[in-house]
Structure 1
């Protein structure tokens, strides 16, 4: 989309808060709808961030069942309510989630610093309508190969969440440096230093590195846990991120090299000719006569 087109759209657009009110959504519901690609936004060139065009609001209002249909698409449920949606025991719901058969879209830490995963109710409902999934929901025992995986401690919830969140951030990236920053957000600092040894380039890259969606006071156990969830920990996931970051950085360097400090030039001092020697004043009568005549 060209700059002129974006500028024209902004003249008939509104802020996210205003758009949420226009659509009858809570701000958290609006943000999730944008995250899922259900509400399209355009860059706000004036102050950063994003805006929603009037035509996009009109499109959403014209959908069948608005606004309830839009709210249903962003309805989030935790483990207990998710088990109710799927009509399975809570334990089975958790085991299926650990196997990665459905993915969380958000998480938060409760007061006990336990991770609470949140799922889209609509996706869980769709899972139950697939005939191949019926044995997973109704059989007394899960298939042996799945039980073996669970016995090894497999838990793909964090990885699946990272995959979804990374896709959302990459959709918002507007140039290769921003894309590189998104990819770097899921790697630990040691690996970033290995891939980007140049300190100026690494500093520029980290400017575009988004933080985690959940926050904890820096240095606290909660912050460490959030950082752990955000950081890739599967070898194949890490290898893909490293390879993709290397590729995107090549595009970023071609587009716009990382800035470097300008070296200060010390003005050179030109040697000056020594002052001409001063004649030593004459002494005695001759000197008095010269001074008098002067």
Structure 2
């Protein structure tokens, strides 16, 4: 007898009522993995299982504990938690000491960053010296250079959550590709069928995106990598993730059925641990782990605002041959060779100066 999905699962709205959370708090709990969901139905809509609700409600600190874990605060409230000025907290956030968990745009289309209250408190406990006196010289130099890591840290956190939510190699590659603009993706993924497949698996935009076109354009820019070394790193991560996906199965071609294109494997790809070496998000690559984003100075972990050590990992030697490649066709050149065809955004391509034509 078929199991009644409506009886053992509930919609997110109903789950918010039973967990005594507001809708925005439940969305944040789902993003952070505090409340687990399961796909239900042909459209694979996400719902919350009844036993998951029972588990959360059985916690000794329910509902105050769950509500505190999803409490998001703005700059002024975060500064009040630390007993510092809002300007000083902004400088600490710009230098990457605490990572935003979400953002919104006010009526002036100014970005308003929100932070987890727990991570703000942890910042005060782990780095008390940054709360008083003059900031260290290296932080003052970074601020003088107009460094602002808030958007980049938010993207890194969101990518870690997207990777944690799936084990499918193509979906993981699509999550990385969602941080690059179409031109960058086309330079890395030269197969149009693979690009179409990645676009089909592209994760939905973050919740709370503004509706007005001008404001939505500002918000969409925040979802894309904009720093040259960040772009290059995600291009490299996408290339490595594509090698994993191709080794698992080919992207669907026109005329193939879903079963032929997906080609389910006997065993799914094991996850190699998404948060290693100080919780820096990783991509499993043929048994090796490569960090998702380069970190200069200090890194902010996805789970907390604490600084994590910089991890340097070399690219693996040797490259898997794509499935379906003919025996006579050589494997692709190295990763750097792949990027010689394209340039990272923000770097100008030098113009060739032509020699003046000698007139007779």
Q: Normalising by structure 1, what TM-score?
A: 0.79
Give the 3-state SS of the residue equivalent to 1:52 in structure 2.
strand
Q: Which structure 1 residue ranges, 5 or more long, are not aligned?
A: 1-6, 264-294
**Per-residue deviation, residues 229-253 of structure 1 (Å, max 9, x unmatched):** 1111233322332122122223333
In structure 1, distance between residues paired with 2:203 and 2:43: 18
Equivalent residue in structure 2 for 1:115, among 108, 111, 114: 111
Contact in 2 for aligned 1:185/1:211 (Cα 8 Å):
no
Q: Quick one: higher RCO (CA 8 Å, sep 6+), 1 or 2?
A: 2
Give the 3-state SS of the residue equivalent to 1:168 in structure 2.
helix
Equivalent residue in structure 1 for 2:56, among 56, 60, 66: 60
In structure 2, distance between residues paired with 1:196 and 1:78: 39
In structure 2, distance between residues paired with 1:189 and 1:117: 26
Equivalent position of 1:150 in the other structure: 143
Equivalent position of 2:346 in the other structure: none
Contact in 1 for aligned 2:5/2:40 (Cα 8 Å):
no
Judged with a 3 Å threshold, the aligned counterparts in structure 2 of structure 1 residues 65 and 216 are, in CA distance, closer, same or farther, namely closer
Q: Normalising by structure 2, what TM-score?
A: 0.65
In structure 1, distance between residues paired with 2:232 and 2:7: 44
In structure 1, distance between residues paired with 2:125 and 2:110: 31
Equivalent residue in structure 1 for 2:81, among 63, 77, 85: 85
In structure 2, distance between residues paired with 1:120 and 1:163: 15
The offset of 1:224, in angstroms, is 2.8
Q: Over the residues paired in the alignment, what is the CA RMSD in angstroms?
A: 2.2
Contact in 2 for aligned 1:97/1:103 (Cα 8 Å):
yes
Q: Which has the higher helix share?
A: 1
Is 1:135 the counterpart of 2:129? The answer is yes
Judged with a 3 Å threshold, the aligned counterparts in structure 2 of structure 1 residues 8 and 176 are, in CA distance, closer, same or farther, namely farther
Judged with a 3 Å threshold, the aligned counterparts in structure 2 of structure 1 residues 12 and 198 are, in CA distance, closer, same or farther, namely same
The aligned length equals 253
Q: Which structure 2 residue ranges, 5 or more long, are not aligned?
A: 257-360
